[in-house]
């Protein structure tokens, strides 16, 4: 009886480890797709390729949702990691919000079709790259929370670094936008998109801060 | 067998039940309190291993307790057990993990005083010394394991979930070992006073297995402890698990294994003989307090963490229980002996 139970605990553990890894993979992949979507939009507008990538992000978001629900169900039904359970679930929820933010940005580009003058293209691409790097560092932070707690602080530090970079890039781009002769409504429309991309970094930094606290709580 | 003898044995069984209700918390309390192991699983494993420990390794500590005061009449043994059981029950009711060892020692001394028998001071001093040594050793072992485990976890980089699965398994194994040690070490508290006046005769099972009269007493006592675990230990388990110090599951494992090692050390004739054979001082086989061992281990870890997290008020409440319990047990023992002798006209000593 006990050997069976023990086996099932280890089996479920491996399955859960895989699911959590998959979830982090999805967040990382969504970032990589997002990094391609923005240049694609800036070059070709809302083309078929752009729509396909938006659809791809949407599918990844649904997959991440499913994993979150499955992990939540298993953690509660099998009473696994009782003392870290709420932290892990909150972490997954907040990371899911990040995926949602990527998706939201894609939809807004697809629906509102902002018209970025060419002089801002390079800055917007750079901002996007910094944001994706920031989330990528968050993925490393989360992975180290589960596997290598010593590295949490180092990886979280990178998130903070990219967040600061992104803030600088956002301010600079916003300033450039408002320094042009575009109409105010257009300026505000462009600023809205730049700000929305930058917010991904802010959220990533909040999550990295949370992970650092969870890591302290994990100490025996 | 005379039916009254069975009735008198009920005193020991009641004490066993009290011990199970109270001391199982020391073995599985931290695991159940941190919700790493379900109470039902803990109760079943604890029950089985307590019985095994009592029957296989219970003789050493029983001999020591017998030397403290050799109760020579069944009603006297009954009085001592009921007194100890009542004292433990009263303390358990208040949610405090108390020591059955101190209760039975108090009750035996109560019998000695009532009957005018001499108390073997040397044995009493040895027992009291172990009361002091037991939490100290448990604390030191816990500190050692804590440092070792921390280093190990830093180098192995286990996944959080994998660590959780290993910790559960480790808690279950440590709990089983703890229950075995508890049975081996503390069966003397439950049945020790009946051994010199055991009403049973040896049973032979088809020339394969022989169960001595003492073995039968230990089996009965072990079953009584198991019943106590299953019926009444949940509340104390949650007290031990949560109140003294908020323990992580890994720390809970360290506490249980440290406690189990201490109980095993003071019950193992094998280790004692081995130390003696290599000219080292042998460990006295004394029924030690399981509660003291657990508190010692928890405080040991708390001190390594800087001492701020230990709730000293609860630790001190438990310490007060240690002093009050033997006195209460001795007084109850005295009163019951008086009642049995003067109202029921029973012979409580020869």
Question: Considering only CA atoms, which of A108, A149, A155 is closest in space to residue A135?
Answer: A155
| Whether the Cβ atoms of residue B228 and residue B47 lie closer than 8 Å to each other | no
Nearest-10 crossing angle of helices B100-115, B160-191: 10
Phi, psi for B316 (deg, rounded to 5): -70, -35
Flag if B161 and A83 touch (Cβ within 8 Å). no
Smallest CA–CA distance from B35 into chain A, residue:
A82
Q: Does B43 touch chain A (CB under 8 A)?
A: no
**pLDDT of residue B244 exceeding 70:** no
| Whether the Cβ atoms of residue B211 and residue B219 lie closer than 8 Å to each other | yes
| Whether the Cβ atoms of residue A94 and residue A204 lie closer than 8 Å to each other | no
Q: pLDDT-based confidence at A2, cuts 50/70/90?
A: very low
Smallest CA–CA distance from B36 into chain A, residue:
A82
Residue B210 bridge partners (DSSP): B204
Which one of B157, B159, B161, B163 makes the best mutation probe of the A interface by having the most chain A beta carbons within 10 Å?
B161
> HSE (CB half, 13 Å, CA atoms) of A46?
13
pLDDT score, position A163: 97
Q: How far is CA B191 from the centre of its chain?
A: 12
Q: Cα torsion at B310, B314, B315, B317 (round to 10°)?
A: 160
A168 min Cα distance to partner chain B (Å): 36
Identify how many contiguous H helices and E strands chain A contains and give both numbers: 6, 0
Of these ranges, A20-24, B190-194, B240-244, B248-252, the one predicted with the greatest mean pLDDT is A20-24
| pLDDT tens readout for residues B95-110 | 665 778 888 899 999 9
Instruction: Determine which of A35-39, A58-62, B19-23, B114-118 has the lowest per-residue pLDDT on average.
Output: B19-23
Domains of chain A (ranges, CATH numbers): 2-218 (1.20.58.220)
Please give the Cα distance from A175 to B344 (Å, whole number). Answer: 100
Q: DSSP state, B95?
A: T
Number of Cβ atoms within 10 Å of the Cβ of B62 = 26
**pLDDT of residue B211 exceeding 70:** yes
pLDDT score, position A20: 94
pLDDT score, position A3: 42
**pLDDT of residue B243 exceeding 90:** no
Question: Considering only CA atoms, which of B259, B250, B249, B263 is closest in space to residue B299?
Answer: B259
**pLDDT of residue A55 exceeding 90:** yes
Q: pLDDT-based confidence at B233, cuts 50/70/90?
A: confident
| pLDDT tens readout for residues B1-45 | 577 778 888 888 988 888 888 788 888 887 887 778 888 999 999
Flag if A218 and B160 touch (Cβ within 8 Å). yes
SS3 content of chain B, % helix, strand, coil (to 5): 75, 0, 20
- In chain B, residues with a C-beta closer than 8 Å to the C-beta of A79 are 35, 38
- In chain B, residues with a C-beta closer than 8 Å to the C-beta of A149 are 157
**pLDDT of residue A1 exceeding 50:** no
Integer CA distances (angstroms), A7 to A1, A10, A12, A143, in order:
10, 5, 9, 25
Please give the Cα distance from B348 to B350 (Å, whole number). Answer: 7
pLDDT score, position A4: 42
Enumerate the domain spans of chain B: 3-342
- In chain A, residues with a C-beta closer than 8 Å to the C-beta of B35 are 79, 82
| pLDDT tens readout for residues B59-78 | 888 888 888 877 888 888 88
Please give the Cα distance from B251 to B152 (Å, whole number). Answer: 13
Q: How far is CA A129 from the centre of its chain?
A: 13
**pLDDT of residue A8 exceeding 70:** no
Interface of B with A in 169-198 (CB under 8 A): 169, 172
Please give the Cα distance from B30 to B47 (Å, whole number). Answer: 17
- In chain A, residues with a C-beta closer than 8 Å to the C-beta of B298 are none
A17 min Cα distance to partner chain B (Å): 7
| Whether the Cβ atoms of residue B49 and residue B274 lie closer than 8 Å to each other | no
Percent of chain B with pLDDT over 70: 95
| pLDDT tens readout for residues A174-210 | 999 999 999 999 999 999 999 999 999 999 999 999 9
pLDDT score, position B95: 63
Q: Does B146 touch chain A (CB under 8 A)?
A: yes
**In A, what residues contact B, Cβ < 8 A?**
2, 6, 9-10, 13, 16-17, 20, 79-84, 88, 145-150, 218-220
Q: Does B154 touch chain A (CB under 8 A)?
A: yes
Q: pLDDT-based confidence at B177, cuts 50/70/90?
A: very high
Percent of chain A with pLDDT over 90: 80
Flag if A13 and B36 touch (Cβ within 8 Å). no
Given B38, B153, B164, which is nearest A81 (Cβ)? B164
Of these ranges, B29-43, B48-62, B304-318, the one predicted with the greatest mean pLDDT is B48-62
Residue range B216-220: average pLDDT? 92
| ipTM score assigned to the predicted complex | 0.83
DSSP letter string, A144-207: HHHH-GGGHHHHHHHHHHHHHHHHHHHHHHHHHHHHSSS-HHHHHHHHHHHHHHHHHHHHHHHH
Residue range B173-194: average pLDDT? 92
Question: Considering only CA atoms, which of A64, A61, A54, A60 is closest in space to residue A107?
Answer: A54
Over B118-132, what HEC string results? CCCHHHHHHHHHHHH
Query: Regarding predicted confidence, which is higher, B176 or B124?
Result: B176
Tokens of B133: 């040594």
pLDDT score, position B311: 72
Smallest CA–CA distance from B45 into chain A, residue:
A2
Please give the Cα distance from B124 to B14 (Å, whole number). Answer: 24
Query: Regarding predicted confidence, which is higher, B128 or B147?
Result: B147
Residue range B243-247: average pLDDT? 68
Query: Regarding predicted confidence, which is higher, A10 or A197?
Result: A197
- In chain A, residues with a C-beta closer than 8 Å to the C-beta of B254 are 220
Smallest CA–CA distance from B248 into chain A, residue:
A220
Flag if A17 and B161 touch (Cβ within 8 Å). yes
* Interchain CB contacts (distance < 8 Å): A and B: 57
Q: Cα torsion at B69, B72, B78, B81 (round to 10°)?
A: 20
Phi, psi for B205 (deg, rounded to 5): -95, 95
């Amino acid at each position: 009886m006990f050997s069976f139970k023990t086996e099932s605990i280890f089996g479920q553990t491996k399955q859960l480890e895989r699911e959590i890894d998959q979830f982090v993979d999805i967040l990382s992949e969504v970032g990589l797709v997002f990094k391609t979507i923005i240049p694609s939009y800036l070059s070709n507008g809302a083309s078929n390729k752009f729509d396909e990538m938006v659809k791809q992000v949407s599918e990844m978001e649904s997959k991440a949702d499913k994993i979150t629900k499955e992990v939540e169900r298993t953690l509660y039904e099998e009473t696994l990691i009782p003392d870290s359970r709420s932290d892990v679930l909150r972490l997954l929820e907040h990371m899911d919000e990040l995926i949602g933010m990527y998706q939201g940005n894609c939809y807004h580009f697809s629906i509102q079709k902002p018209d970025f003058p060419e002089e801002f293209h390079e800055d917007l691409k750079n901002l996007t790259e910094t944001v994706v790097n920031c989330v990528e560092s968050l993925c490393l932070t989360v992975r180290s929370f589960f596997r290598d707690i010593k590295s949490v602080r180092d990886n979280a530090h990178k998130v903070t670094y990219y967040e600061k970079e992104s803030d600088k890039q956002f301010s600079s781009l916003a300033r450039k936008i408002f320094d042009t002769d575009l109409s105010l409504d257009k300026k505000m429309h462009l600023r809205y998109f730049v700000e929305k991309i930058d917010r991904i970094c802010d959220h990533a930094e909040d999550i990295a801060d949370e992970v650092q606290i969870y890591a302290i709580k994990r100490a025996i | 067998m005379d039916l009254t003898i069975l009735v008198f044995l009920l005193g020991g069984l009641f004490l066993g039940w009290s011990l199970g209700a109270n001391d199982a918390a020391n073995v599985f309390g931290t695991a159940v309190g941190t919700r790493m192991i379900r109470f039902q699983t803990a109760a079943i494993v604890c029950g089985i291993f307590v019985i095994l420990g009592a029957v296989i390794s219970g003789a050493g500590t029983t001999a020591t307790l017998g030397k403290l005061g050799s109760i020579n009449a069944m009603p006297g043994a009954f009085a001592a057990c009921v007194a100890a059981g009542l004292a433990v029950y009263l303390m358990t009711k208040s949610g405090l993990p108390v020591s059955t060892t101190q209760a039975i020692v108090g009750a035996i001394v109560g019998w000695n005083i009532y009957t005018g028998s001499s108390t073997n001071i040397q044995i009493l001093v040895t027992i009291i010394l172990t009361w002091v040594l037991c939490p100290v050793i448990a604390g030191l072992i816990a500190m050692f394991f804590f440092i070792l485990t921390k280093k190990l976890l830093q180098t192995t980089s286990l996944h959080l979930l994998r660590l959780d699965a290993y910790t559960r398994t480790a808690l279950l194994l440590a709990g089983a070992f703890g229950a075995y040690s508890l049975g081996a070490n503390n069966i003397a508290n439950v049945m020790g006073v009946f051994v010199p006046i055991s009403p049973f005769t040896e049973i032979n099972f088809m020339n394969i297995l022989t169960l001595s009269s003492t073995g039968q007493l230990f089996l009965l006592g072990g079953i009584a402890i198991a019943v106590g675990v299953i019926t009444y230990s949940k509340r104390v388990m949650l007290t031990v698990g949560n109140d003294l110090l908020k323990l992580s599951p890994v720390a809970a494992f360290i506490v249980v294994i440290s406690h189990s090692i201490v109980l095993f050390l003071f019950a193992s004739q094998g280790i004692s003989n081995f130390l003696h054979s290599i000219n080292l001082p042998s460990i006295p086989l004394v029924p030690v307090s399981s509660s003291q061992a657990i508190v010692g281990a928890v405080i040991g870890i708390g001190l390594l963490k800087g001492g701020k997290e230990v709730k000293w008020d609860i630790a001190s409440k438990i310490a007060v229980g240690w002093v009050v319990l033997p006195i209460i047990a001795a007084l109850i023992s005295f009163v019951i002996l008086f009642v049995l002798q003067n109202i029921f006209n029973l012979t409580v000593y020869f």
